[in-house]
Every structure is written in C-alpha cells, then in structure tokens.
Structure 1
Amino acid sequence: MTLTETSNLKVMPVAQGVLLTFVAYILFLFLLARLTGRRDDNASFFLARRATPWWVVAIGMLGDSISGVTFVSVPGDVVHSGMTYMQLVLGFFVGYIVVTYVLLPLYYRLQLVSIYSYLEQRFGRHSYRTGAMFFIISKLFGAAAKLYVITLILQSLVFTPIGIPYPVTVVGVVAIIWLYTQRGGMGTIIWTDVLQTLCLVTTLILMLYQVSSQLGLSLSGIVDVVRSSGHSRIFVFDDWTSPLYFWKQLISGAFIVIVMTGLDQNMMQKNLTCRSLREAQTNMLTYGFGFIPLNLLFLTLGILLVHYASTMGLTLPEKTDSILPYLATTQLGSVVLICFTLGITAASFSNADSALTSLTTSVCTDLLGMDMKGGEQRRRWIHLGVCVAFALMVLFIGSMQQTSLLKTIFTAVSYTYGPLLGFFAFGLLTKLPIRDHLTPYIAVLSPLVSYALAYSLEHTIGYRVGYEMLLFNGLFTFVSLWITHDRRGKEVHV
C-alpha cells in the first residue's frame, strides 16, 4: 500500500469524526500517562521498578504484538494465503513455551535490565555490542514499518484534504508518542498498552459485528461463510517446497517468537517488570494463548470482507494491505470507519511507544553503559534522538513499494535476528569459549551466506525458502562460533 494509492481513496463525509476519534484517544492517553508517569527516574523508565502485576503485562503485550500492520495485513492476506497464517500462529505458541521455561529463568536469575548483557557475561564485549546493534537496527525498521500504516491512513483520510504534508503527519505522530513516554517510560507504557489492547479487541469485535450485519449473517451464518469459502484452508501438507507448507510454518513460527519475543529487548523488558519469575511465566503463557483466538478473528474478518466484496460486485485492490482500508473507508459506513481508525491507532501506538522505550533502554545501557541510578537528563536527550531516527525511518519505509508489510517485517526479522538466535543458542547449549573479536564479522556474514543459500536452493531444486531463513541464519552463526571457538580457553559457566 503506497501513499498515492491510499490518497486516492474516497474521502468520507465522516472524516471529522475520524479526526475527533483520534484526538479523543490521544487525550485519554495523555491523561493515563500523567497518572502513571509521576516518577521520572531510570528505575521507572527502564523496568517500572519491577512491580507490575502479571495480568497487566499480559493484556498489554497482546496489544503490542497485534500491530497496525497485523490489523490490515492479516485480513487482506486471506486472498492469497487463505487461513494458513494460523499455522504460523500455532508455531508462535510453541515458541512462547520455550521462552517461558528457557529464557525467562535465565534473565531473572541474572537480574538483567538489558537482555543483551547476557552476551557480555557469556562471550565478551564485542558480542554484547553486536547483539545490541542488531536488535536496534531490526527494531527500528520493524516498529517504524508498523507505525507507517497508521500515519498513511490518517494522512489519506484527514490530513491530505486539509493540506497537511505527509512528513508533518509523521513528525506529529512520533512527537505525540515522545511526549507521553518521555517521563514514565515503561512504567507508563505498561498501562497505556492495557488501554490500547482493550480498544483493539473491542473494535475488532465491533467490525466483525458490523460487517456480518450488513451481510445479514448470524453467528452460524458467519461459520457457514468461513467454512464454504475458498480461502478457508488452514493446513498445507501436500507441497513441501511451498513456503506455506505446515512444518515450515510451524517451526518458523516457533523460532520467530523465540527471537521476536524471547531475544527482543522490547518484549522482554515488559516481562522483566513483573514482580517474580513465576508471575512473568504466567504472563507469557496467558498472553501466548490469547494470541490464537485473536488472530483467528482477524482471519475471519478477512474472509467476511472478501465475501462482502463478492456479494456487492466490488473489485478489491491488488495489494492485500489495501483491502481493509479500502472497504472501511469507502464501503462499510461510518461506524466501521470509526472502529477501524480507533483499532489501528491503538494497535500502532501500542507497538511504537514500547519500541521507542526499549530502543532508548538499549542505547543507554548497551551502548553507553548507563545504569538505573542517575543520568535522567542524558536519558531524555537519547530518547528524543531515538524518536528523530524513528520518524526518519517511517519516511524511508514510505518510499518502499511493498504488497504486504507483515511479510516484509518477518523477512527482515529472519535476517537481522538470525545472528542473535545463533549467539544465544551457542551460549545456552555449550560452555565453549569463543573468540569474541570475531563475532561482529560472523554476525554480518551470516545473513549474506543465508541469502546465497536460499537463492541456490530455489534455482537448483526449486525449494522456495520462507521464514525458515531465520533457521539457516541462526545455524550458520552457531556453526561459525563453534568452528572459530577458542580451543585453549576454559569452559564458561553463566
């Protein structure tokens, strides 16, 4: 979905209602931030003083995972992939189990603020800095891509008609996030994420109700439409070369969660705000399980939208990310449009605010060596700098031509998180010492070799590599660390 395409969407008469909804939501966010951000110190900003109830974190993390990209990409993707995304979602839950019982105990035992400081304790400073840099690059791109969706839709619905340029919209949205997170940090975000998750789930259910009502469908009618749809296929077992093959999706989904949650400072920083390891584990399993029915609802919405378009004789946009915005803004009426605006705003802000906070935390602790005592003024300037870089990345992504941002993000994750997967796997599964100064070179070389392997497989035996690129990448990193490890050094116990 490009800015040109969305700006060509029909401007609805309820554009003022969309703007009022957006403004009301932002004002409520500021009120909540004021109530929860009274402490302006690093202990609150980084880890919310490790005093957050587990159920609060679980609700907030659910909204953080369902980004604005998911909101538009998953329903639209049913056109090309049916409901096969559920294979990946089932793999996600397997990954949550691994994170719960393997990584969380490690992080709590070491009392980490940044999870990448484990790499320093296990390998050395080069590995530590390399891991942090790969996270910063990946998170900056991924979170900016997710925020891009809401800025684009707001631009086409509200700001283009009144003459405000797109760059001003981007800067304004990022500035709003900076304002309500710059004091309380994670202590504020934990609670604003709860609000955003509740808004997201409520609007999704309201949109399902409105679309089914316009189609004259009861609950049983919705089930019949989904069951009889040509897009309802979930499992693919008959083509092992396809990127949609079940075992590829399941295993890839598990490892995507391991790296995007378990090895991601953003997600783990929220878990580390829980009062104890046991509460953090309860949070992770609850949140991971809740992810399954929520994504099933998104896919159901997608099938209903396709059915609606077919019933009404509508031609859907070629780019799947444009399907939901197109129907919501031009066909389904003002109630759906308001719900859509509220839902995608909540989803996008939930992901972006925590990403900016975790990026600030990583820069402060991993790159600059700051701790939770003192340096608040310096931290505020770093937070502002991260916000500027974030806005520039959103504008850069706006210049890219992508049919599905969700697939683009997962593909980027396969390359940038692969070395992190290899580092942590080697550290946890072996006690071998490594040559720490070589790790930056290995981390850069691994994605290049993985891409070359994927290209060779497709052009020799016709095997198309999907998200399992992450496994190739991590495996090459692991093997490289083993080949180059320090054979004269002593075993390392961390």
Structure 2
Amino acid sequence: MDSKLTLIVITSYFLLLFLVSWLTSKNLSSDTFFTGDRKSPWFLVAFGMIGASLSGVTFISVPGEVGNTNFYYFQVVLGYTVGYAVIATLLLPLYYRLNLVSIYTYLEGRFGFWSYKTGAFFFILSRTLGSSIRVFLVAGVLQLILFDHWGIPFWLSVLITVGLIWLYTHRGGIKTVVWTDTFQTFFMLSAVLVSIYLIAKDLDITSIHQLVNTVASEPRSSMFNWDWKEGTNFFKQFFSGAFIVIVMTGLDQDMMQKNLTCRNLRDAQKNMFWFTIILVAVNLVFLALGVLLFLHADVNQIPVPERTDDLYPMLATSYFSAFAGIVFVLGITAAAYSSADSTLTALTTSFCYDFLQIDKHYDKKESIQLRKKVHLFFTMVVFLMILVFRWVNDQSVINAVFIIAGYTYGPLLGLYAFGLFTEYRVKDRWVPVAAVTAPLLSYIFAANSENWFWGYRFGFEILILNGLLMFLGLWLLREKENATEMFSPR
C-alpha cells in the first residue's frame, strides 16, 4: 500500500477528530471534562461504546482467532448479554442514585478509605497496562505500513499519535470522547463490512443468503465446545463472558463514565440495552470476516502467517485493492484510538477524584489546571509504557501483561459483590492485603489446575475464582456493624 496515500488518510482522519473536538469544546463548564454535563444522547453513547469495547486487538485478533478456535469466542459474547443485564438493572441504578462521577466513590461510603483507594488503584493499574499494550500492538502495524517508509522511528511515531489524542481530548474530555467514539465506531464497522463485501465479490458470492450459507457451511464456523476440560468449553466461556462484562464494563470507570453522561437512568439503561444488541451482532460479523479471510487465502493459495493475527493486516495491505487498504487503515486507526482516548479521560477522572479529591480541596480555577496536568501525566505514562513493551519485544511477556491486567479486576469484582449482596462492613485497613492475596492465590490455582483437578484447565473463568477469593477474604474481615442506609445493598 502506498505510504503517501496512507499518510493522507490518517492525517484526514485526525483532522476530522480535531473538528469534532473543537465543536464539542464550546461553552464548557467546570464539570464538562468529567461528566459531559450529563447531556449525551443515549443512542450516541450506545453506538460510540462499540468502538471503545472493540479495541484494535479485537479488530485484528477476533478474525484471526477463527483459524485457531473457530467461532468459540461467540460463546463469550453470548455471556456478555447476561453481564450487561446485570449492569443495567443493578449497577446503573446504584451509580445514578448516588450521583457518582467516579464509580469507586461508592467503596468509600460502603467500606472506608482503604477499600476506596484499593478499588481505584486496581482500575488505574489495569487500564494503564491494558490500554498501553493495545495501542502498542496496533502502533506496530501502523509503523510497518506507514512510518517505516518515511524513516520515522517508533518512539517518535508513538509520541505523535499519543500527542494527537491528548490534543483533541484535553479540553472537552468525556464530552469530546462520546462524539469521537461515534465517528471511530463508524469507521471501524465500515472497514469490516467493506472487507466482507470485497472478499465475497472475489469468491463470487452474490447475495447475503449465499454469504450466510458459505460461512455456516465452513468447519471454522463451529460455535460450541462441550468438552469440560478445554478452556473454550461453552459453560466456562459463557459464564466468564458474563463476569468479564460486569467487571470490565460495569466496574470500569472508562466504560461507566460514558454511561453516566446520559441525561438520566432511563436513558442510560436504554443505551445499555441497544448497545448489547449491536455488540452481539458486530462480534458475529467479525467472526464471519475471519472465515472469509481464511477462505480467501485458501482459494488464492496465499500462505497463512504463523501468527493468525497477522492475516487480516497482511491481506488488506498487500493483496486487497488500494481502496480496501485505505478502509483497513481507517478501521485499525479508529479501533486503536477509540480505546486510548477514553482511557486517558477515565484515568484522569479517577486520579483527580479518587486520589486528589479535586472536587473537595480545589477551587474552579485550580481544579482545571490540576486536571490538565494529570491528563498530560497519564498521556506520558501511556507513551512510556508503549516504549517499554517495544523494548521488551517478547510476545510471551506481552501475553503475561494481558493476563496480569485481567487478574486485577478480580478484587474489584469481590469488593462490589460483597458490598451489594451483604450488609456487613469490613476491617477496612486489611482490604489491600486481601486484594493482593486473591490474585496470587488465583494464579497458583491456574498454574496447577491440570494436576490438581484431573486435567481441568482454567480459561477466562479464572476471573470468577479471583472474585470469589476476594469475597471470601472480605467475609473473614467482616464486622458486626452494618452498612449505612445510603450505601446499603437494599
């Protein structure tokens, strides 16, 4: 793919984002950055959240993973529907009733200072690691197809792109992100649909009915695995999907901050309902694209890369038409930065409210200046983390970081479950110890499960065990005193 054309496409894309940022940054109040003034249309939030949920890794990996595990990932997606129902009916009413900006403020009122800081810390740790590595993986693709042709070193290309994200989010914050996410979701989905159309055309598939039959008849479209020992077993993945959504959306400041920009609880619940329907359909489309990519490679005798994640980028930039390549670049850029921009905003919000108490200790002018400094600080942290991943350049280490990021949500799951389903208070100063112990014990179980449990291998459901151990730790730390009425589970 021509590097000049790629540069023009990406430049035009960011110019559009700057235009959106300029339009959404007018008439700002002091709370606009954090709450969007709670005026976001629910349908806009629902559509934009698709882009934030489907990161650049998903954009590349879900189609590629079809070659390894068929459609088994859809079992996880089906579990998502249960998780989103829990968020809409249990968590959103709680957040709106307490009028929260940072959702971790709930933990302070429910348990105390150390529980509150523990929840916020684990979110910041997990999001910093997870988002940095997601941007790193996609930045590598952009470096290969664009920046290497211009002799721009990796560190400079990352600095430029992260700096651009900072520029278009540093004033409008979550209000800007809600709108930019909408455009980025549009570009991402357009890339997938155009790719499907072009591949179908190449394979002489002339109708949607024929396309569905072609995908359904492929062995790779097998959707359910009933082998209880496998990590891709239906029940493991279904229940894991439900809990993954609860913690990575419902207990995640990044995702919930968008929901809390809706005008009221009813709008936020409508947003969650339609978002769920769209997300399930979109994931099915991504999986169908995966089948078509492998069919295209088979028919045209194109060798499949050893890492199946590389199949879509390779075909789009080296074998498809220039138009398809442009659409792919737009899609992967949107996928990468729709996740990064909202993450920077959420990290800034959490740190300002949960650690600096910006709403209690600073006047309006001071709080704005402090918020800008924190936003810039986290931008630099993400930049430095990406460079660290590049320096390590070891796929096993990168996978380990993803696993670590996943483990950090277990303590949050245990904390909120204990807060919502019991009336006990806890010995607050010991909560950080429990929050560290639960993931460590979970890791020990996962590392030895095949020997201890007759060949059983943990998959995503390790999150459930992690949360359960945290819940048990809090049970051991419980006190006779009940929660205050406002923070009571009833």
TM-score normalised by length of structure 1: 0.94
Letter in 2 for 1:369: Q
Matched, 1:269 2:257: yes
Q: Residue 225 of structure 2: SS of its match in structure 1?
A: coil
Cα deviations across residues 182-229 of structure 1 (Å, max 9, x unaligned)? 001011111111111111122211111111112221233322321222
Letter in 2 for 1:450: S
Cα deviations across residues 420-451 of structure 1 (Å, max 9, x unaligned)? 00000000000111000001111111110001
Matched, 1:236 2:225: yes
Q: Given the alignment, which residue of 42, 45, 53 partners 1:65?
A: 53
Matches within 5 A, 1:194-233: 194-218=182-206, 219-233=208-222
- Are 1:38 and 1:183, in contact at CA under 8 Å, matched by a contact in 2? no
Measure, in 2, the Cα distance between the counterparts of 1:40 and 1:68.
31
Measure, in 1, the Cα distance between the counterparts of 2:327 and 2:401.
25
Partner of 2:359: 371
Partner of 1:174: 162
* C-alpha displacement of 1:41: 4.4
Letter in 2 for 1:389: V
* C-alpha displacement of 1:81: 0.5
Measure, in 1, the Cα distance between the counterparts of 2:199 and 2:428.
56
Q: Residue 466 of structure 2: SS of its match in structure 1?
A: helix
Shift in CA distance, 311/404, structure 1 to aligned 2, threshold 3 Å: farther
Structure 2 spans left out of the alignment, 5+ residues: none
Partner of 1:456: 448
Partner of 1:96: 84
Moved more, 119-128 or 48-57: 48-57
Measure, in 2, the Cα distance between the counterparts of 1:130 and 1:52.
30
Shift in CA distance, 196/36, structure 1 to aligned 2, threshold 3 Å: same
Measure, in 2, the Cα distance between the counterparts of 1:490 and 1:149.
47
Q: Given the alignment, which residue of 420, 439, 442 partners 1:447?
A: 439
Measure, in 2, the Cα distance between the counterparts of 1:365 and 1:173.
27
Matched, 1:423 2:423: no
Q: Given the alignment, which residue of 347, 350, 370 partners 2:335?
A: 347
Identity %: 45
- Are 2:72 and 2:232, in contact at CA under 8 Å, matched by a contact in 1? yes
- Are 1:309 and 1:316, in contact at CA under 8 Å, matched by a contact in 2? yes
Partner of 1:478: 471
Moved more, 244-253 or 449-458: 449-458
Q: Residue 425 of structure 2: SS of its match in structure 1?
A: coil
- Are 2:42 and 2:268, in contact at CA under 8 Å, matched by a contact in 1? yes
Shift in CA distance, 277/404, structure 1 to aligned 2, threshold 3 Å: farther
- Are 2:110 and 2:483, in contact at CA under 8 Å, matched by a contact in 1? no
Measure, in 2, the Cα distance between the counterparts of 1:158 and 1:49.
38
- Are 1:320 and 1:403, in contact at CA under 8 Å, matched by a contact in 2? no
Measure, in 2, the Cα distance between the counterparts of 1:79 and 1:402.
19
Cα deviations across residues 243-263 of structure 1 (Å, max 9, x unaligned)? 110011000000000000000
Partner of 2:70: 82
Measure, in 2, the Cα distance between the counterparts of 1:320 and 1:134.
32
- Are 2:426 and 2:477, in contact at CA under 8 Å, matched by a contact in 1? yes
Matched, 1:392 2:397: no
Measure, in 1, the Cα distance between the counterparts of 2:248 and 2:229.
25
- Are 1:414 and 1:469, in contact at CA under 8 Å, matched by a contact in 2? no
Shift in CA distance, 420/116, structure 1 to aligned 2, threshold 3 Å: same
Moved more, 371-380 or 103-112: 371-380
Matched, 1:128 2:116: yes
Cα deviations across residues 433-489 of structure 1 (Å, max 9, x unaligned)? 1000001111111110001111221223211000011001000000010012124x3
Cα deviations across residues 270-323 of structure 1 (Å, max 9, x unaligned)? 110000000000001110111011011111111111011111112111112211
* C-alpha displacement of 1:38: 2.0
* C-alpha displacement of 1:39: 4.0
Measure, in 1, the Cα distance between the counterparts of 2:193 and 2:474.
48
Measure, in 1, the Cα distance between the counterparts of 2:402 and 2:484.
33
Cα deviations across residues 316-368 of structure 1 (Å, max 9, x unaligned)? 11112211111111111212111110011111111110000000001100011
* C-alpha displacement of 1:392: 1.2
- Are 1:321 and 1:403, in contact at CA under 8 Å, matched by a contact in 2? no
Shift in CA distance, 63/277, structure 1 to aligned 2, threshold 3 Å: same
- Are 2:107 and 2:115, in contact at CA under 8 Å, matched by a contact in 1? yes
Cα deviations across residues 66-116 of structure 1 (Å, max 9, x unaligned)? 111110000000011101111000101110000000000000000000000
Structure 1 spans left out of the alignment, 5+ residues: 1-11
* C-alpha displacement of 1:490: 4.1
* C-alpha displacement of 1:410: 6.3
Shift in CA distance, 404/307, structure 1 to aligned 2, threshold 3 Å: farther
Shift in CA distance, 179/16, structure 1 to aligned 2, threshold 3 Å: same
Partner of 1:9: none
Measure, in 2, the Cα distance between the counterparts of 1:109 and 1:157.
48
- Are 2:126 and 2:406, in contact at CA under 8 Å, matched by a contact in 1? no
Matched, 1:437 2:425: no
Measure, in 1, the Cα distance between the counterparts of 2:409 and 2:74.
22
Alignment root-mean-square deviation, CA: 1.6
Partner of 1:7: none
Measure, in 1, the Cα distance between the counterparts of 2:402 and 2:219.
26
Partner of 1:19: 7
- Are 1:320 and 1:404, in contact at CA under 8 Å, matched by a contact in 2? no
Measure, in 2, the Cα distance between the counterparts of 1:117 and 1:430.
18
Partner of 1:279: 267
* C-alpha displacement of 1:40: 4.7
TM-score normalised by length of structure 2: 0.95
Letter in 1 for 2:216: R
Matches within 5 A, 1:287-436: 287-371=275-359, 374=364, 375-398=367-390, 399-402=392-395, 411-436=403-428
Shift in CA distance, 473/241, structure 1 to aligned 2, threshold 3 Å: same
Measure, in 2, the Cα distance between the counterparts of 1:117 and 1:167.
37
Q: Residue 219 of structure 2: SS of its match in structure 1?
A: coil
- Are 2:56 and 2:336, in contact at CA under 8 Å, matched by a contact in 1? yes
Measure, in 2, the Cα distance between the counterparts of 1:200 and 1:316.
23
Partner of 1:160: 148
Shift in CA distance, 39/377, structure 1 to aligned 2, threshold 3 Å: farther
- Are 1:75 and 1:324, in contact at CA under 8 Å, matched by a contact in 2? yes
